[in-house]
Amino acid sequence: MRRAVFLDRDGVLNRERGEHTWELEQFEILPGVPEALRVLQEKGRALVVITNQSGIGSGLYGHDDVERVHGYLRRMLADHGVQLTDVYYCPHHPDNGKCLCRKPGSLLLEKAMARYGIDAGGSVMIGDRDRDVEAARSVGVRGIRVESNEPLLPLVLNRTILG
């Protein structure tokens, strides 16, 4: 089984702006992120993004907007030699009823673990909200809470993530 690093998106990979991010001009990949992910990839970790995108459910933006941003993220990382294993997002808004995929729900982590044969106990989830950590813990994945927009590379280099 593979070990994975599950990654929240906004505030971990790209700058958390304090509002929804769905246009390329708003999507700023944080410094050191490609380098950090490459280290994790070289350690054999699957790299899986798990993100809540309730702006779809509220009608603020569409699936195509999210796919465009994720396509850009994948290409930008690929330019640095990093292949994201997969990107999962919850499109639902809680006002329209509870779903199982919106973090702190764990459905998207469970899907990824099943599809890619990921060992929960050997994996971590990095997020800037309590709900990221809660989603991970509920399926036996270690959750690491970081500050929004905190540099990722030091966490990787001091082995907080790999430990």
Distance of closest approach, residue 73 Cβ to Mg ion, in angstroms: 14
By CB under 5 A, is residue 55 in contact with Mg ion? Answer: no
DSSP structural state of residue 2: B
By CB under 5 A, is residue 101 in contact with Zn ion? Answer: yes
Among 5, 6, 7, 10, binds Mg ion (CB under 5 A): 10
By CB under 5 A, is residue 65 in contact with Mg ion? Answer: no
Give the residue with the Cβ less far from Mg ion, 65 or 132. Answer: 132
Strand 86-90 versus strand 124-127 pairing type: unpaired
99, interface contact from Zn ion, Mg ion, none, CB < 5-8 Å by kind: Zn ion
3-state SS assignment for residue 118: strand
* Catalytic (active site) residue 8: yes
Instruction: Let me know if 18 is exposed, middle or buried by CB neighbors in 10 A (0-12, 13-18, 19+).
Output: exposed
Instruction: Let me know if 124 is exposed, middle or buried by CB neighbors in 10 A (0-12, 13-18, 19+).
Output: buried
Give the residue with the Cβ less far from Mg ion, 2 or 20. Answer: 20
By CB under 5 A, is residue 90 in contact with Zn ion? Answer: yes
CB 13 within 8 A of CB 49: yes
By CB under 5 A, is residue 11 in contact with Mg ion? Answer: yes
Between 33-42 and 63-78, two packed helices, what is the crossing angle to 10 degrees? 70
List the interface residues with Zn ion, window 21-40 (CB under 5 A).
none
Give the residue with the Cβ less far from Zn ion, 101 or 141. Answer: 101
Residues with a known catalytic role: 8, 10
Residues lying near Zn ion in the complex (CB under 5 A) are found at 90, 92, 99, 101-102
